[in-house]
């Protein structure tokens, strides 16, 4: 069999995302590579996929690492129109796409933990890191990079050894061995399908899937903001805001202000 030379460039018959995929055997970070490509708007929809990262980035400055080909590590570079340039849209889009893909692959419904962790059986199977960069390009002033790490085939022992007891993979949580390339391709196709809906201004399906996968509507929650925590019953949740009620007092909070939302019980 002919040796594959990386990076390998391949293409999917999608509308935008994945028309060009740059697949690396090893790279520092797929998000960093996508940021390098953000100076050219012709790279809209470019996917960077890597079997392994030497400097993978997670949220809050953490690192993100996984053994080679155990995790689908990819970044999508986008130049979204102004209406879509909201973190809540991007985080929910990526998390819902991963949740729907997991259902297709293993028949189980994943939950979203605010803002954008995907949990299966309560364990984190996917992390998402969204980064934005101003480009200076007149027609495409802002590039958005959506980085996704979806754990596919690590063993439970692997997470224990890495001191990650709250993490899991599709294999460790379901016993299902999945083909790495099929998972990667399935994810890219789903991201592309769902992004087209957003470009067409159709947000309702995404919003309702996001609310359902969060599972917080109607629950007693604690909302962590930059400078304080708010408790209350979550009466309403949309892309426009959260509506909390406690002791007859109501508070509306924009999603972008919210760091975490956790279900809580407290004495009434
Ligand atoms: C998190 O901390 O939950 C977010 C993790 C995001 C990891 C992915 S892996 C592919 C992409 N490249 C990176 O360097 N990070 C993201």
Ligand 1 atom with least separation from CA of 124: 3
Q: What is the model's pTM?
A: 0.96
Mean pLDDT of 168-180: 98
Residues 6 or more apart from 61 whose CB is under 8 A from it? none
Query: For residues 70 and 249, what is the distance between their CA atoms, to the nearest angstrom?
Result: 48
Residue of 71, 73, 74, 146 best suited for mutating to test ligand 1, as the one with most atoms within 8 Å of CB:
73
- Res 108: pLDDT: 98
Q: What is the pLDDT of residues 22-79, one digit of tens each?
A: 999 999 999 999 999 999 999 999 999 999 999 999 999 999 999 999 999 999 999 9
Query: For residues 261 and 214, what is the distance between their CA atoms, to the nearest angstrom?
Result: 9
Tokens matching residue 165: 């007891």
Residue of 56, 70, 116, 150 best suited for mutating to test ligand 1, as the one with most atoms within 8 Å of CB:
56
Q: What is the pLDDT of residues 70-115, one digit of tens each?
A: 999 999 999 999 999 998 999 999 999 999 999 999 999 999 999 9
- Res 2: pLDDT: 85
Q: How far is ligand 1, taken at its centre, from the CA of residue 237, in Å?
A: 26
Query: For residues 220 and 204, what is the distance between their CA atoms, to the nearest angstrom?
Result: 24
State in Å, rounded, how far the first CA of the chain is from the last one: 68
Kindly indicate the confidence band of residue 268, based on its pLDDT and cuts at 50, 70 and 90: very low
**∠ at Cα 113 (108, 118), nearest 5°?**
45
Q: Do the beta carbons of residue 17 and residue 192 sit within 8 Å?
A: yes
Nearest to 80 by CA among 149, 37, 16: 16
- Res 149: pLDDT: 98
Strand-strand pairing, 47-50 and 21-24: parallel
Mean pLDDT of 260-266: 89
Which residue has the CA at smallest separation from atom 16 of ligand 1? 147
- Res 266: pLDDT: 67
180: pLDDT strictly greater than 60? yes
Which residues approach ligand 1 with their CB closer than 6 A?
Answer: 29-31, 53, 56-59, 62, 64, 73-75, 117, 127-129, 147-149
Q: How far is ligand 1, taken at its centre, from the CA of residue 49, in Å?
A: 12
Tokens matching residue 141: 């002033």
Which residue has the CA at smallest separation from atom 11 of ligand 1? 147
- Res 227: pLDDT: 96
Q: What is the pLDDT of residues 183-200, one digit of tens each?
A: 999 999 999 999 999 999
Q: Between helices 204-214 and 87-106, what is the axis angle to 10°?
A: 70
Q: How far is ligand 1, taken at its centre, from the CA of residue 53, in Å?
A: 10
Kindly indicate the confidence band of residue 253, based on its pLDDT and cuts at 50, 70 and 90: very high
Ligand 1 atom with least separation from CA of 57: 14
Q: What is the pLDDT of residues 223-242, one digit of tens each?
A: 999 999 999 999 999 999 99
Which residue has the CA at smallest separation from atom 15 of ligand 1? 57
Q: How far is ligand 1, taken at its centre, from the CA of residue 172, in Å?
A: 20
- Res 105: pLDDT: 98
Tokens matching residue 260: 């975490």
Which residue has the CA at smallest separation from atom 3 of ligand 1? 127
Residue of 24, 38, 127 best suited for mutating to test ligand 1, as the one with most atoms within 8 Å of CB:
127
DSSP secondary structure letter of residue 122: T
Query: What's the CA dihedral at 186, 191, 196, 197 to 10 degrees?
Result: 100
């Amino acid at each position: 069999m002919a040796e594959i030379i990386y990076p390998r460039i391949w293409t999917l018959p999608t509308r935008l995302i994945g028309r060009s995929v740059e697949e690396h055997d090893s790279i520092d970070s797929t998000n960093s590579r996508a940021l390098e490509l953000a100076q050219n708007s012709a790279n809209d929809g470019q996917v960077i996929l890597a079997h392994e990262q030497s400097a993978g980035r997670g949220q809050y400055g953490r690192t993100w690492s996984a053994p080679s080909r155990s995790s689908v590590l990819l970044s999508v570079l986008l130049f979204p129109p102004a209406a879509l340039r909201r973190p809540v849209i991007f985080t929910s889009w990526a998390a819902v796409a991963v949740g729907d893909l997991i259902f297709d692959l293993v028949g189980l419904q994943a939950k979203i933990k605010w803002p954008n962790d995907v949990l299966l059986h309560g364990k984190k199977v996917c992390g998402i890191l969204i980064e934005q960069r101003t480009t200076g390009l007149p027609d495409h002033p802002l590039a958005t990079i959506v980085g996704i790490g979806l754990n596919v085939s690590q063993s439970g022992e692997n997470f224990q050894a890495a001191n990650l007891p709250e993490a899991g993979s599709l294999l460790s949580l379901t016993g299902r061995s999945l083909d790495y390339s099929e998972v990667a391709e399935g994810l890219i196709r789903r991201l592309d399908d769902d992004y087209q809906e957003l470009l067409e201004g159709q947000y309702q399906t995404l919003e309702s899937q996001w609310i359902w996968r969060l599972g917080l509507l109607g629950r007693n929650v604690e909302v962590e903001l930059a400078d304080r925590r708010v408790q209350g019953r979550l009466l309403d949740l949309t892309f426009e805001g959260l509506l909390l009620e406690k002791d007859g007092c109501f508070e509306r909070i924009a999603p972008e202000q919210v760091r975490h939302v956790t279900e809580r019980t407290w004495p009434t």
